[in-house]
C-alpha cells in the first residue's frame, strides 16, 4: 500500500516522530461537521423509532445501521482527513455492503434456534451466574460485534479501491476515468485483500475499545443532563406545570407530550409552541456537541490504529519487493 497518506512515512518514522502521521489521521472540520450534524439529527428525531420493534433487537439494530448509510451520502465529495483523498461512491458502496452483511448475519442468528442456543451456551459458560434474559442480551451483542469484524473487511476493500482509483486518476490524468466496479475488476490487487483484513480487524478492535472509553468518560450523560436542565428552566419560566418535569432519559417526543400536558394541551397557547421549539433546538444542539467530541476522538483513534497497520503492511511488501498498490513519484 503506497499512497499520499503514508508516502514518506515508514513504520520507524511513525514511531520516532508520530506527529506527521497522527496529523493525517485527525478528521478535518468538514468531516466532523457533517458526521456530527447527521448523527445528531438522526439521534434527535429518529432514535425513538427503533423502539417500534419492541423486544426485537435484531430489527432495531438493522434499523440503526441502515440510518448510517445516509452519513456516507452526506460525506460524498468531502476530503478524508487531510489526505487529498475524497469520499466518493466507494464509501457509499462500503457502507451499504457492511450494513447488508451485518443485517444478514443478525437475521441468520435470530431465525436459527440452534445458532442462538450455541452462542447463549458460550455466554453461560463464561458467566455461569447470569440469568437467561441477560445471557440472551449478551449473546446478541457478541453476534453483533462479530458482525462488525466480519463485515468491516469487504467494506474496507471497497474503501481501499476507492482510494487507489483516485490516486491513479491523480497521477495518470491523461488516462480515461474508469467506473468504480470496472476499476476493481481490472486493476485490483490481491494484497488489497490482506490490507482490508488487517485494517478492518484493527479498526473494529480500536472502535470497540474507543466506544468503551467514551462510555467510561460519561460526558454524553452530562450533556443530556445539561440540556434537560435548560428545557426545564424554560418550561418553568413560561409557567408550565412542573408535575410533568422532563427527565434526562426522555426523548424529544416524550418531551413534546409532557410539554402539552404542562400547558393543558392548549394548541393555541404560544408558550407551548415556544417550549417545544426550545426543546428541539437545545436537544439537537446538545447532540451535535456530543457528536463533535465523539467524531473527533473516535475517528482519530481508530484511523491511527488502522493506518499504522497499513504502513506496516506497506513496509513489509516493499521489503519483499511486492507491488501492492500504485507507486507514486
Range of the domain at 178: 27-205
Query: Three cell numbers at 233?
Result: 428552566
Q: What is the pLDDT of residue 6?
A: 40
Quickly count: other Cβ atoms within 10 Å of residue 208's Cβ.
14
Is residue 162 assigned to a domain?
yes
The answer to whether the beta carbons of residues 281 and 231 sit under 8 Å apart is no
Q: Give CA angle at 22 (216, 149), nearest 5°.
A: 55
- Identify the DSSP state of 320: T
Q: What is the pLDDT of residue 14?
A: 67
Q: What does the buried/exposed string (b/e) look like for 301-321 if buried means 16 or more CB atoms within 10 Å of the residue's CB?
A: bbbbbbbbbbbbbbbebeeee
Q: What is the pLDDT of residue 301?
A: 86
Please state, in angstroms and rounded to a whole number, the distance separating the CA atoms of residues 294 and 137: 25
Is residue 168 assigned to a domain?
yes
DSSP element (H, E) containing 29: helix 29-45
- Identify the DSSP state of 54: T
Distance of CA 254 to the CA centre of its chain: 26
Please state, in angstroms and rounded to a whole number, the distance separating the CA atoms of residues 87 and 38: 15
Is residue 142 assigned to a domain?
yes
Count how many domains the chain has.
1
Q: What is the pLDDT of residue 21?
A: 74
Is residue 51 assigned to a domain?
yes
Among 107, 103, 78, 106, residue whose Cα is nearest residue 92:
78
Q: Considering the entire predicted model, what is its pTM? A: 0.80
Please state, in angstroms and rounded to a whole number, the distance separating the CA atoms of residues 308 and 310: 5
Q: What is the pLDDT of residue 266?
A: 93
Is residue 145 assigned to a domain?
yes
DSSP element (H, E) containing 290: helix 270-319
Please state, in angstroms and rounded to a whole number, the distance separating the CA atoms of residues 276 and 235: 9
Is residue 280 assigned to a domain?
no
Q: pLDDT truncated to tens, each residue of the chain (329 aa)?
A: 344 444 446 676 667 677 777 777 788 888 889 989 998 998 899 877 766 766 677 777 777 778 778 888 888 888 887 778 888 999 999 999 999 999 999 999 999 999 999 999 999 999 999 998 899 989 998 998 899 999 999 999 999 999 889 988 888 777 777 888 888 988 888 888 888 998 888 888 888 888 888 888 888 899 999 999 999 999 999 999 989 999 998 999 999 999 999 999 999 999 999 999 999 999 999 999 999 998 888 888 888 887 787 777 777 777 766 554 433 33
Is residue 80 assigned to a domain?
yes
Quickly count: other Cβ atoms within 10 Å of residue 263's Cβ.
23
Query: Three cell numbers at 308?
Result: 499504522
Is residue 9 assigned to a domain?
no
Amino acid at each position: 500500500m503506497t499512497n499520499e497518506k503514508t508516502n514518506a512515512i515508514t513504520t520507524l518514522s511513525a514511531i520516532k516522530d508520530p506527529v506527521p502521521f497522527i496529523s493525517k489521521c485527525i478528521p478535518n472540520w468538514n468531516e466532523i461537521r457533517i458526521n456530527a450534524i447527521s448523527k445528531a439529527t438522526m439521534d434527535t428525531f429518529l432514535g425513538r423509532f427503533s423502539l417500534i420493534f419492541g423486544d426485537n433487537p435484531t430489527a432495531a439494530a438493522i434499523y440503526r445501521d441502515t440510518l448510517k448509510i445516509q452519513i456516507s451520502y452526506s460525506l460524498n465529495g468531502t476530503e478524508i482527513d487531510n489526505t487529498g483523498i475524497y469520499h466518493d461512491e466507494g464509501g457509499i458502496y462500503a457502507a451499504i455492503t457492511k450494513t447488508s452483511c451485518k443485517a444478514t448475519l443478525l437475521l441468520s442468528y435470530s431465525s436459527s434456534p440452534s445458532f442462538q442456543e450455541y452462542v447463549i451456551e458460550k455466554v453461560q459458560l463464561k458467566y455461569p451466574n447470569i440469568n437467561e434474559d441477560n445471557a440472551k442480551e449478551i449473546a446478541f451483542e457478541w453476534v453483533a460485534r462479530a458482525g462488525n469484524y466480519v463485515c468491516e473487511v469487504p467494506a474496507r476493500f471497497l474503501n481501499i479501491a476507492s482510494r487507489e482509483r483516485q490516486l491513479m486518476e491523480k497521477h495518470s490524468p491523461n488516462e480515461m476515468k474508469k467506473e468504480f466496479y470496472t476499476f476493481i475488476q481490472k486493476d485490483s490487487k490481491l494484497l488489497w485483500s490482506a490490507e482490508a483484513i488487517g485494517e478492518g480487524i484493527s479498526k473494529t478492535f480500536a472502535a470497540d475499545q474507543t466506544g468503551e472509553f467514551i462510555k467510561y468518560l460519561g460526558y454524553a450523560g452530562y450533556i443530556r443532563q445539561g440540556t434537560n436542565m435548560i428545557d426545564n428552566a424554560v418550561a418553568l419560566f413560561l409557567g408550565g406545570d412542573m408535575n410533568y418535569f422532563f427527565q434526562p432519559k426522555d426523548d424529544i417526543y416524550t418531551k413534546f407530550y409532557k410539554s402539552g400536558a404542562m400547558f393543558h394541551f392548549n394548541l393555541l397557547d404560544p408558550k407551548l409552541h415556544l417550549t417545544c421549539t426550545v426543546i428541539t433546538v437545545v436537544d439537537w444542539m446538545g447532540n451535535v456537541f456530543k457528536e463533535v467530541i465523539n467524531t473527533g476522538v473516535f475517528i482519530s483513534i481508530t484511523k491511527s490504529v488502522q493506518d499504522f497497520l497499513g504502513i506496516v503492511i506497506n513496509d513489509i511488501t516493499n521489503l519483499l519487493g511486492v507491488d501492492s498498490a500504485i507507486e507514486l513519484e
